[in-house]
Amino acid sequence: MNGVPLAGFIGLSMFMFITGVVGVIIRRNPIVIFMCIELMLNAVNLAFLAFARYKFSGLANVNQGAAGQMMVVFVMAVAAAEVAVGLGIIMAIYRLKENIDVDELNLLKG
């Protein structure tokens, strides 16, 4: 993608991140909230890769420049683990309460 300014990629990343933040605030379905968290993680991945590609000059070798890509690999792995455990928790809550509206879940209230 020659000629596309870095601001294009970062702007898209910013928009997706903010959409995720707004979704986490306004939605009440925990599964959709999880999806919005995934959206935020992906937005950050896009920012990492765009910077890795556009801001390469000045680095000693390719291995040093791959730090952004390594970060993305690890974010993907952690997101997979997080989704597996999080959806397990939602399943357990659903079996306990038959209702997963986040505004109704007040088990931790003292």
Which residue type is seen at 66?
A
Report the alpha-carbon distance of residue 29 to residue 26 in Å, rounded. 10
Number of residues near another protein (by CB under 8 A): 74
Q: Is 82 in the site for another protein (CB under 8 A)?
A: yes
What is the Cα–Cα distance from 82 to 88, expressed in whole angstroms? 10
State residue 28 phi and psi, 5-degree precision: -120, -5
Tokens (6 digits) for 23? 């979704």
Q: Which is nearer to another protein, 62 or 108 (CB)?
A: 62
Q: How far is the CB of 75 from another protein (least distance, A)?
A: 10
CB of 73 to another protein, least distance (A): 7
For the bound state, the minimum distance from the C-beta of residue 39 to another protein, rounded and expressed in Å, comes to 6
Site for another protein in 6-65 (CB under 8 A): 6-12, 14-16, 18-23, 25-29, 31-32, 34-36, 38-39, 42, 45-46, 49-50, 52-57, 62-63, 65
Could you tell me the two tokens for 64? 């040093």
Residue 32 tokens, joined? 């959709």
